[in-house]
Amino acid sequence: MITIKDLSKVFQTKDREVKAVDGLSLTINKGEIYGVIGYSGAGKSTFIRLLNRLEDPTEGSIHVGDQDLTGLSKNKLRIARQDIGMIFQHFNLLWSRTVYDNIAFPLEIAGVPKEERSRRVKELIDLVGLSGRGNSYPSQLSGGQKQRVGIARALANNPKVLLCDEATSALDPETTDSILDLLVDINEKLGLTIVLITHEMHVIRKICHQVAVMEQGRIVEKGDVLDVFLHPEQPVTKKFVDQVMGDQEKEHSLKLIKDKYQSGKIVRLHFVGESTNQALISEVSRKFVLDVNILHGKITQTQKGAYGTMFVQFEGDNEEVARAIEYIRSTSVEVEVNPDA
């Protein structure tokens, strides 16, 4: 659906060149929710603006379907952009227009007849959960409602792709979750391809199928969200995964137990999918003569299934501990022995 090859963007400042996007290549399949995550300055906002040519690339190509956006004239680009909707961090609504008129605005520009325009706007108001608010102004809406208007406006021309530029970072956690649920609903109902950039791993974890991690203008890691959660390779990816899995609590727990007991083996258990439902610790306690101390644990849900991690300490005879670890390895649970705190 979207193919990006060797994409670069260089900005010229007074005294130097800044390469905001550096040789980026990516393939996004039709109907996917694809997350791009990075800290401030990673280049992700520039990247998403390149996708609909709000910024012109210095090098590289962007294909949406069979169309090369980087080779289009201004007139053809204007038409092509109707297939690409975009929602923004700060909503970018027209404050002097009602909800209805904000959503109708791109249809007016596209020359859609009034009757058809009215039908489409009412349809979109219902879709995003704003029934009865068509005559309200943005100043009368909550942050979440404003973003719903932004989403409805972005969907007005029936785009094939929806770009989300930090769409939830200005919202509180509860409102963020409701907007993410709406995006999943839209993805499923309309088969829409969604590209979402964020600095929050919670957003990636909750709704994305695939993720790319950006750092200094480059993609340093990418793949299926669950795989990235299970086996983060780059330091920046590990930091993002720790955002969701509560690593600070884990470190505190490990330090306390090591300081107190100074013995035993500490292991990290990774539970994936159905293995998160196993009563594994109870089984180990029954089968083997050892003490099991649970230090820290958490289970979270991704679009591809549940993922859990647990830190435990085994106290007992070395051979018995080794047998217990081998038993756990014989299940679908992954084991890492004596992980660094």
- How far does Cα 324 stand from its chain's mean position? 37
DSSP annotation of 58: S
Q: Is 3.30.930.10 the CATH number for 2-243?
A: no
Per the CB < 8 A criterion, the answer to whether 4 and 27 are in contact is: yes
Residues found in the chain: 341
Show pLDDT as tens, one digit a residue, over the chain (341 residues).
899 999 999 998 888 888 999 999 999 999 999 999 999 999 999 999 999 888 999 999 999 988 889 888 888 888 888 899 999 888 899 999 999 999 999 999 889 999 999 999 999 999 999 999 999 999 999 999 999 999 999 999 999 999 999 989 888 989 999 999 999 999 999 999 999 999 998 899 889 999 999 999 999 999 999 888 878 899 999 888 887 766 555 556 566 656 665 567 888 887 776 555 567 888 888 899 998 888 777 777 777 777 777 888 888 888 999 999 999 888 878 888 865 44
Question: CATH assignment of 246-337, given 3.40.50.180, 3.10.129.10, 3.30.70.260, 3.40.50.1970?
Answer: 3.30.70.260
Closest to 205 in 3D by CA, of 179, 222, 238, 228 = 228
List, by residue range, all CATH 3.30.70.260 domains of the chain: 246-337
pLDDT digits (tens, 9 = 90+) for 307-333: 777 888 888 888 999 999 999 888 878
First to last CA, the chain: 42
Looking at residue 341, its pLDDT comes to: 41
Pairing outcome for strands 67-68 and 59-64: antiparallel
Per the CB < 8 A criterion, the answer to whether 8 and 70 are in contact is: no
Q: CA Rg, the chain, in Å?
A: 24
Element (H, E) at 26: strand 17-28
Residue 178 in tokens = 């409701």
The dihedral over CA atoms of 35, 38, 39, 41, expressed in degrees to the nearest 10, equals -120
Per the CB < 8 A criterion, the answer to whether 147 and 91 are in contact is: yes
Which residues are bridge partners to 116 per DSSP?
Answer: none
Per the CB < 8 A criterion, the answer to whether 205 and 237 are in contact is: no
pTM: 0.81
Per the CB < 8 A criterion, the answer to whether 81 and 53 are in contact is: yes
Instruction: Give just the sign of the alpha carbon dihedral 278, 243, 304, 329.
Output: negative
Looking at residue 195, its pLDDT comes to: 96
Return phi, psi of residue 245, to 5°. -90, 5
Looking at residue 309, its pLDDT comes to: 79
